[in-house]
A and B are shown apart, each in its own frame.
Chain A
C-alpha cells in the first residue's frame, strides 16, 4: 500500500508524470531503432507510433511552462544573496532564462504544428532545441563548479555528519551532470549543432538511450 501511495503521489505531480512519459518516449525511440535493425518493420512501426504520440502529448502538456521559469528567476533575483556564491547564482538565473526561451519556442512550435498559428514548426523547433542546448551547457557549468567546490570542502571537513551532507550534495552533482550530458545528446541532435560542429549525427539508439537515462534520473528526482 505504501508503494502504491508513493507511485500515485508521484504521478499526481506534472513533473513526475512528464518524466515517466519521457522514459517511455525515448525507450520506444530506442526500440524503434532496434526493431528496424532486425527488419521487424511492424513492431518498429508500433513503437514509432508510441514515440510520436508521447512526444506530441508532452509538448501539449508543457504549454505555459515558461511561467515556472519566470517565477524561479524572480525568486532568485529577490533572494538574500549573503551566503550564496554569486557566480553559481548568476549561472542558475541564466540557465533558467535559456530554459524559459526553450519552453516558449517549444510551445509556439507545437501550436504552429497543429495550425493554431501560421509559422514553420520545424524552424521553431530547431530554435527551441538551440536554446535548450545553451541552457544545458549553462547547467553543466554550474554543476561542475558546484561539484569542484564540494570536493574541496570534503577534503577540509572533519565531522562525520558534515561529510555525509557533502557526499549527498556530490551525488546530486554527479546525477545532474549525467542527466544533462544525456539531455545534451537530444538537444544537440535536435538543434543540429552536433552535425554543424562535430559533423556527427547520433543515431536513434543513442538518442533513445540518452533520453531514457535522462528521463529515469529526472523521474527519480521528481518522486
Chain B
C-alpha cells in the first residue's frame, strides 16, 4: 500500500508524471532502434509510434512552463544573499533564464506544428534545443563548482553529522552531473551543435539510452 501511495504521489505531480513519460519516450526510442537493427520492422514501427506520441503529449503538457522559471528567477533575485555563494547564485539564475527561453521556444514550436501559429516548427524546435544545451552547460558549471566546494569542505569537517550531510550533497551533485550529461546528449543532437562542433551525430541508441537515464534520475528526484 505504501509503494502504491508513493507511485500515485509521484504521478499526481506534473513533474513526476512528465519524467516517467520521459523514461517511456526515450526507452521507446531505444527499442525502436533495437528492433530496426534486428530487422523487426513491425515492432520498430510500434515503438516509434509510442516515442512520437509521448513526445507530442509532453510538449503539449509543458505549455506555460516558462512561468515556473520566472517564479524561480524572482525568488533567487529577492533571496537573502548572506549565506549564499554569489557565483553559484548567478549561475542558477542564468541557467533558469536559458531554460525559460527553452520552454518558450518549445511551446511555440508545438503550437506551430499543430498550425495554431504560422511558423516553421523545425526552426523553432532547433532554437529551443540550443537554449536547452546552453542551459545544461550552465547547470553543469554550477554543479561542478558546487561539487568541488563540497569535496574541499569534506576534508576539513570533523563532526560525523556534518560529514553525512556533505556526503549527501556530494551524491546529489553526482546525480545532477550524470543527468545533465545525458540531457546534453539529447540537446546537442536536437540543436545539431554536436554535428557542427564535433562533426558527430549520436545515433538513436545513444539518444534513447541517455534520455532514459536522465528520466530515471529526474523521476527519483521528483518523488
Contact = CB atoms under 8 A, between A and B. Distances in A.
Nearest to A55: B60
A12 B13 contact: yes
A70 B4 contact: yes
Which of B49, B70, B115 has the most A CB atoms < 10 Å from its CB? B115
A61 B115 contact: no
A116 B49 contact: yes
Given A14-B13, A17-B14, A50-B114, A4 B21 contact: no
Interface residues of B, number: 34
Interface string B103-124: 0000000100011100000000
B151 interface: no
Contacts of B54: 60
B50 A12 contact: no
Contacts of B74: 1, 4
Which of B12, B57, B70 has the most A CB atoms < 10 Å from its CB? B57
Interface of A is mostly: helix
A187 B6 CA distance: 31
B56 A71 contact: no
B53 A13 contact: no
B89 interface: no
Given A8-B68, A49-B114, A67-B8, A13 B50 contact: no
A53 interface: yes
A57 interface: yes
Interface in A49-91: 49-50, 53-54, 56-57, 60-61, 64-65, 67-68, 70-71, 74
Interface string B65-78: 00110110010000
Given A12-B15, A71-B5, A60 B21 contact: yes
Given A14-B14, A46-B115, A53-B60, A4 B71 contact: yes
Contacts of B21: 60-61
Contacts of A115: 45-46, 49
B1 interface: yes
B214 to A, nearest CB: 19
Given A8-B68, A49-B116, 14 more contacts: A11-B68, A14-B14, A21-B60, A21-B61, A49-B115, A53-B110, A57-B60, A60-B53, A61-B17, A67-B11, A68-B12, A110-B53, A115-B46, A116-B46
26 contacts: A4-B70, A11-B14, A11-B64, A12-B13, A12-B14, A13-B13, A15-B12, A17-B61, A21-B60, A21-B61, A45-B115, A50-B116, A53-B60, A56-B56, A60-B53, A60-B54, A60-B57, A61-B61, A67-B11, A68-B12, A71-B8, A110-B53, A114-B49, A114-B50, A115-B46, A115-B49
